[in-house]
Amino acid sequence: MKKKTTLARKGILAGGNWIVDQVKMIDVWPQPEQLANIHNQYEGTGGAPYNVLIDLAKLGARFPLMAAGLVGKDALGRRVFQDCRAHKINTKHLGSTDRAPTSYTDVMTEIKGGRRTFFHMRGANALWKGDDLDFTQIKARIFHLGYLLLLDQLDKPDRKHGTKAAALLAAAQAAGIKTSVDVVSEDSDRFKEIVAPALKHVDYCILNEIEAGKITGFRIRAEDGSLNTVYLRHAAGALLQMGAQELVVIHFPEGALARTRKGEDYWQPSLQIPAKKIAGAAGAGDAFCAGVLYGIHEGWEIQRCLRLGVCAAAASLMAATCTEGMRPLEEALAFSKKFKFRPSPEPEE
């Protein structure tokens, strides 16, 4: 019965961090008290729901896109609402407050190689509890929540579920909505404390190899930076053991690994984008996530979902801001013909 309820639903509701990125393209990351030159500056989307929904809209999603979260009653907040209207994203559950400004991030992006450093203002996101969401009245098929570890109210403890985020995800599942989460990459020991409780109420866990390693304790990168595919697979299995119910997808610069509850593994190499075409890596993870969620919503096979994910990520790399580079579905998929795939990260048996 629950399966029929889920299939009858349509659309993706994305909630969490709504951020406006102020991207500065710099020549070099400076030492303390030294100068770096800003060559260009851009304003763009930031945060899991904002990036994912705009990417889905640009991919040409024909299903409803719904926003949930909180912005400030200020110029940046008005920009967010205007952006959503322009991309036909429903803002019924996107609130505004005068208690805090709209969240923003100064993104310092090195022109050579696209390496980024972030200076973040939490703003209104720190106030959002998600308690305005009545999932019994929301017709979405998937609820995507992100970023865990960067939502102050939802990262708080909950007596029954472990965290407030876990309770929110449980409420969505109880109403027949599939759930998905993403995590912020931070240098801390909070991952197990905050992310683990949420995994028990997650259908699709989509994160990068750094986050997967922090949660599970596996060192996925060797000292020389190479990918340890044995530990990568162990981490995917551990995330399922910790509660992820249907699918774990771990993405990384070399590609992605998906593992199902049945223990099936799917590997997908990323595209080799020439360095001169890479404008910035900001938003590539959310672009990958948007591609995978697009396919999941449409009932695609997992391998096809992953292929769209890496193509969407490739499109994102070609612009300095998180979502400017996204293309319509067929154009994004066409990158797989224009550029070569990297050698497969799949280990030889």
For 172, 177, 294, the CA distances from 140, given in Å and listed in that order, are 10, 7, 13
Tens digits of residue pLDDT in 246-257: 999 999 999 999
Contact between 64 and 142 (Cβ < 8 Å):
no
The number of residues making up the chain comes to: 349
Angle between helices 48-59 and 75-86 (to 10 degrees): 30
Contact between 248 and 259 (Cβ < 8 Å):
yes
At residue 37, the pLDDT reads 98
Residues of the chain with pLDDT under 70: 1-7, 348-349
At residue 349, the pLDDT reads 58
At residue 299, the pLDDT reads 97
Placement of tokens 């119910």 in the chain? 245
At residue 8, the pLDDT reads 80
At residue 334, the pLDDT reads 95
- pTM score: 0.93
At residue 207, the pLDDT reads 95
Pairing of strands 12-16, 142-148: parallel
